[in-house]
Structure 1
């Protein structure tokens, strides 16, 4: 159940810190800097799409610099199509696109800990799986489980515990 980390290169230090924190929590990640294929391919779109499909969760690192480039919105869109668990990690106070309101917004280390707890709960209850392991009959259940993950994590972030 890897977590795909989406970010703009200007936000790389935040993405590195999030990746490190997830790895410390024994959570497998996909981070393009650590992937030799993404550094050498002529088909970066195909590589990104494949890794998003193979992931179960996506954290989009967002800031005021995120909006103009296309990659982060593209990656969030790909994750949406696959009903991935999506969260944004806001690096600074700034107005972000409204489409990100649908998913939990992380902005502190504590929020990231909430994400880790929610991720572990999904692993323990086996509510999350990769898209290629889902039959058509399970697709609706998977989508509902994704919505449950988002709702519960948003609620926990609002409560602060």
Structure 2
């Protein structure tokens, strides 16, 4: 299965989210970006169900953050769902943004070069994840393997970003 990245963002950051999605696609990964999804005229429980379905098609999440994100209910919710599912995750901002401390758990991307590195690490570590998943039939165990691999991914990418 091809790796698919869920791009989480507040509606006011749609242009920046589209830029991130474009860069991820250039690197050969698939993307889900709700800006192009007509089904998102829904709200409340219908929207939550729709987003859960879309997120179940993905294995990773990049949260586009700006000064507007603090007013979003959906971005933190999507981050929580991604964390629970063991997604590989990162935040993306073009300028300094005072991020909530919980976002420090994941790598912070700030440029096209950082997105390229994220995608490179993603592709490089996908093989290791697939190898570890072989023969793991229990869904709880599969989630734990994804979480363990995601933790390794986050540590490695953070270290690589620091040494740039």
TM-score range, shorter chain: 0.7 to 0.9
Kept in 1: contact 2:24–2:116 (CA 8 A): no
Q: Deviations over 1:71-102 (max 9, x none)?
A: 11111011111111110002321211011000
Unaligned 5+ runs, structure 2: none
Q: Which residue of 1 aligns with 2:142?
A: 138
- When normalised by structure 1's length, the TM-score is 0.88
* C-alpha distance in structure 2 between counterparts of 1:60 and 1:134, whole Å: 29
* C-alpha distance in structure 1 between counterparts of 2:15 and 2:148, whole Å: 33
Q: Deviations over 1:45-89 (max 9, x none)?
A: 111112222211000000111011211111101111111111000
Kept in 2: contact 1:5–1:59 (CA 8 A): yes
- When normalised by structure 2's length, the TM-score is 0.86
Q: Which residue of 2 aligns with 1:70?
A: 73
Q: How many residues are matched?
A: 157
Once structures 1 and 2 are overlaid, which stretch shifts more, 3-12 or 119-128?
119-128
Unaligned 5+ runs, structure 1: none
* C-alpha distance in structure 2 between counterparts of 1:45 and 1:91, whole Å: 28
TM-align CA RMSD: 2.1
Q: Deviations over 1:104-126 (max 9, x none)?
A: 00011111111010111133334
Q: Which residue of 1 aligns with 2:90?
A: 87
